[in-house]
Amino acid sequence: MCKIISIANQKGGVGKTTTAMNLGVALELQGKHTLLIDFDPQASLSSYLGFINDNGDNIDELPTINNLMMSAIGMERKSEDIMSYIRHSEVNNIDYIPSDLNLANADCYLSGVISRETVLKRMLTNELIGNYDYIIIDCLPSLGVLLMNALVASDGFIIPVQTQKFAFDGLVMLENVFGQIKNTVNNKLELIGVLATMYETNTTASKIVLEKLKQRYPDKMFTTYIHKATEAEKSTNKQKSLCLYNNRPGEEYKAVAKEVIEIF
């Protein structure tokens, strides 16, 4: 049975895209067929996966999740078959649906749509879900209609939290959105876990934030946390998952994947 997981935090720079990418690849390495969905107009995950250089095509002519959303509500005549939007990263051996900057207009074109928060859920058909063990959605740092769509479509979500100053900014509002969605339109939604990211062993600030996270989420913290490492930037630049190298953060994401499989 396919599990749909959103990676969410309204605060930017906490490692959402890095987590989505490397958790997805780590799940594939565990034999779990996984689809990544880039649901952020910044399209960082798409870039990480090599979408810009994919087959040397013109990026403007390649269909993205934005085209699919617009097709689903009747604003474009492109195919509404979600399967035709799926691409494959040969380097990372994972399927994905890319994004582009036009997705930033979603608040506008969804404003008059009935049940606008359920568009993504309606797009994730049984045909698609049946092909995968996990679908990972990389959410944008916002509490708008796109995040609502992601959470309504999901079975659970993971919150990456950078173990630095201001780590708790926005968490209360995110928790409120989660509660509202769970109580109204998606009662199966659950918080899978909070993932500490960019942890620095030798700094007092990181240790303090980690302890506060454990106190705030005593039953929801992943036992694995992701250390800050220069390998992360190199991985992004090379468009190749950390999990495909012999390095510490790659091994940590593999451990997180094992935890996800065990608890979810």
Residue 88's CATH number: 3.40.50.300
Structure tokens at 187: 């009662």
- The answer to whether residue 52 scores a pLDDT higher than 80 is no
Other beta carbons less than 10 A from residue 79's beta carbon:
13
The count of other CB atoms within 10 Å of the CB of residue 104 is 16
Q: Which of 54, 44, 19 is nearest to 100 (CA)?
A: 44
Over residues 31-57, mean pLDDT: 86
Question: Tell me: the pLDDT tens digits for 199-244?
Answer: 998 899 899 999 999 999 999 999 999 999 999 889 999 999 999 9
Q: What are phi and psi of 157, to 5 degrees?
A: -145, 155
Residue 45 domain boundaries: 3-263
Cα–chain center distance at 142: 13
DSSP string, 72-132: HTTS--S---GGGG-EEETTTTEEEE---GGGGGHHHHTTTSTTGGGHHHHHS-HHHHTT-
Rounded to whole angstroms, what are the CA distances from 205 to 160, 199, 211? 17, 9, 10
Question: Over the stretch 133-188, which tens digit does the pLDDT of each residue have?
Answer: 999 999 999 888 999 999 999 999 999 998 887 778 878 889 999 999 999 999 99
Count up the domains in the chain and report the number. Answer: 1
